């Protein structure tokens, strides 16, 4: 892929060293963007950045000072993709206050921090595009995902708020709502919780999507590239489902 839809755009991808974030990093580079990865996995981020000719900055998105320093090191930010996030399994009874705080710190405050510090840079160069990775859990009830759903619901509503507040300032803000996507996280989760039954449980998780499979990171990245390009100049304040039909049947 080399359409150069994002040519000469300075793009920041949080969580860009693995899973969906890595796929977005690679796709944006192929589309001509100048990529900066923000990630806590320095080894992977540096390796990927070196391979792609981009830049890696260690950053803990849950910490305001860490994000402030990372964004301050950049000359400009045209595109911001908030992909960093963590998962949690449990209902409201089994989710401890510590669990909730941990998920909130990364999935909610992390998105706030990057938008808070990147927006002034976008505005100083005439505008930009923000894309947040939310989830189908933003819109529907999923069993035993209390804290995770809370956080992704917040991502969706933060997206709408920023889109509304900055629509007259040439800032577009959208979010994607994927269902299950086959990433190394899924494989690790199955190995940890279902040793010896990985293949069986993989099929169970896949069947959750009416289309009959999980999404692939490259599919999320393809839609992300479109939404951050000028081809999507008329789209803002949208939460786009990319879920294999999950919300279709809810």
Catalytic residues: 148
- Contact assessment for residue 162 and residue 173, using Cβ atoms and an 8 Å cutoff: yes
Query: Edge-to-edge strand order for the sheet containing 128-133?
Result: 55-58, 34-39, 10-14, 79-82, 128-133, 171-178, 239-242
Alpha helices (runs of H) in the chain, residue ranges in sequence order: 19-30, 42-52, 64-72, 97-103, 109-124, 146-165, 184-193, 198-207, 217-227
DSSP notation for 35-64:
EEEEES-HHHHHHHHHHHT-EEEE--TT-H
**Residue 209 three-state SS:** coil
**Any idea which residue has 């860490």 for tokens?**
66
12 contact partners, CB below 8 Å, separation of at least 6: 36, 38, 71, 74, 77, 79, 80, 81, 114, 118
The answer to whether 153 and 138 are in contact (CB under 8 A) is yes
Residue whose C-alpha is closest to residue 224's, from 213, 211, 238, 208 = 238
How wide is the angle at C-alpha 210 spanned by C-alphas 208 and 212, nearest 5°? 80
Strand partners, 38: 14, 57
């Amino acid at each position: 892929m080399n359409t150069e839809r994002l040519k000469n755009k300075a793009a920041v991808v949080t969580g860009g060293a693995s899973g969906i974030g890595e796929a977005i990093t690679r796709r944006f580079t192929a589309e001509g963007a100048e990529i900066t990865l923000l990630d806590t996995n320095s080894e992977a981020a540096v390796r990927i950045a070196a391979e792609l000719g981009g830049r890696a900055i260690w950053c803990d998105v849950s910490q305001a000072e860490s994000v402030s320093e990372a964004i301050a090191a950049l000359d400009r930010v045209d595109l911001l993709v908030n992909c960093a996030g963590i998962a949690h399994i449990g209902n409201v009874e089994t989710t401890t206050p510590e669990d909730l705080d941990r998920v909130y710190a990364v999935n909610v405050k992390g998105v706030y921090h990057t938008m808070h510090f990147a927006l002034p840079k976008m505005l100083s160069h005439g505008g930009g595009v923000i894309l947040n990775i939310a989830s189908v859990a933003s819109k529907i009830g999923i069993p035993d995902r209390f804290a995770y759903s809370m956080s992704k619901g917040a991502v969706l509503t933060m997206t709408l708020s920023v889109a509304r507040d900055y629509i007259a300032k040439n800032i577009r803000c959208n979010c994607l709502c994927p269902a299950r996507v086959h990433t190394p996280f899924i494989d690790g989760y199955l190995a940890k919780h279902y040793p010896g039954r990985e293949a069986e449980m993989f099929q169970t998780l896949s069947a959750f999507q009416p289309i009959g499979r999980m999404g692939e990171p490259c599919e999320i990245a393809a839609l992300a590239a479109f939404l951050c390009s000028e081809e999507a100049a008329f789209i803002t304040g949208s939460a786009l489902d990319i879920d294999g039909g999950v919300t279709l049947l809810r």
